[in-house]
Amino acid sequence: MAQVAHQGAQHYLGLYENREAAQSAVLEFREQHPSTRLRKLDSVRRNHVRCYDEDTLMAQRAPITDVIESGVKQLIKISTASGRSLRCSVDHAILTPEGWAKAGELAVGDAVMVAATAPRPSERLVPPSLRRGIGVWTSMQRERLIADTDRCHLCGEAYPREALALDHVVPVAENLRAALDETNLAPACQDCHTRKSATEQKLARRGGKIAVAKPDPIVSVAPDAEEMTYDLSVEGPWHNFLANGVVVHNSYNEESGRYRELEPVFYIPGEDRKLVQRGRPGKYEFVDGTPEQHAALGKTMEDSYRQSYAAYRELLADGVAREVARATLPVGLFSTMYATCNARSLMHFLGLRTQHEQATVPSFPQREIEMVAEKMETEWARLMPLTYAAFNANGRVAP
């Protein structure tokens, strides 16, 4: 069943065989009855965005793997003390000093993580553990390479062995290959060795700035326009990106009735859906229903959907929060989500949620989830035919 709100009224568009057909009817209606909503955003797929290591908060680059149209949503505008502003839906996740939070849960005084810079930390060219090892080896050569009385190669003065140290003529930080070359070692008095070591610290790289994320207090949260929204899917390991200077999560998972008004798109079983359960618990089968049963089911479900959605809309009009009003809606309401998985996880899912003659372990899923699994399996077989063939050859059991 498809229904659409336009200029304060509900327009019933009829019954459809599947969700896609119902959505097409809604889109066609909206094209014929345009509004002032913004609906277009140029694709940025295959480009890169700035993302952040969530452990160190240092900036990185990440490729965009997909752009997902998330539907028309009511937006809010979040402004920060540094002058940044972000327009987003209330269910979009934003990085805060305490972790991820929904935009609709943030308030004035909270902080969000924004793009910033910090002084570049000193970067020694020789790791401390390696430098200590070189020092131990150098000390072991001291008795052999320094005479009882020897001269400092820097000042030329004579000193007893106890007052001399072995110095790397070519500094270790300048040429690591010469660190264990005894021809690069020469006696040096303590004063000269100390001064030379201090000057060698200048070889460590310092200065400049690095890009990091830092907290920025929120100064205002205000309602904004209603527009078509989009989500980016960003390649891992850090699934975030920078939007108008604010660190946000790369995509949503499932649409939330807590933050947006749910669309009236409902499920009515097709004629091929077996309706009658026959047999005892634990050992039963489903058989076809009669035409009368299908007709009664369709009418009853449609009436129920109309009544429950009307009640939902009335509660919203009375000012009841979405997260409370949605409790009146039935389980037959369609939802949308965007998820990712690897091939092995998908194999586990298909093994549990499909019936197949090649399956070593039989499964008895509910038909509705099996319909979803069949769509996923068809696409996976197209993308990874060799892996798919191996999965079936292995009795549809994941390795």
Spatial separation of the C-alpha atoms in residues 233 and 255, rounded to whole Å: 16
Spatial separation of the C-alpha atoms in residues 176 and 255, rounded to whole Å: 57
Structure tokens at 209: 């700035």
Spatial separation of the C-alpha atoms in residues 1 and 13, rounded to whole Å: 7
Of the residues 37, 132, 278, 353, only one is catalytic, namely 353
Spatial separation of the C-alpha atoms in residues 353 and 355, rounded to whole Å: 7
Contact of 289 with 271, CB cutoff 8 Å: no
Spatial separation of the C-alpha atoms in residues 95 and 351, rounded to whole Å: 36
**Alpha carbon of residue 131 to chain centroid:** 40
- Calculate ∠ Cα 244-111-77, nearest 5°: 45
Radius of gyration of the chain from Cα atoms? 34
Pick from 141, 127, 142: nearest CA to 176: 127
Structure tokens at 58: 């240092």
Instruction: From residue 49, give the alpha-carbon distance in Å to each of 89, 100, 186, 206, 353.
Output: 20, 19, 52, 27, 36
Q: Let me know if 353 is a catalytic residue.
A: yes
232: helix, coil or strand? strand
Spatial separation of the C-alpha atoms in residues 213 and 293, rounded to whole Å: 60
Please name the residues in contact with 377: beta carbons below 8 A apart, sequence gap of 6 or more.
Answer: 350, 354, 388
Q: Give the DSSP letter of residue 122.
A: P
Would you name the residues annotated as active-site residues?
A: 353
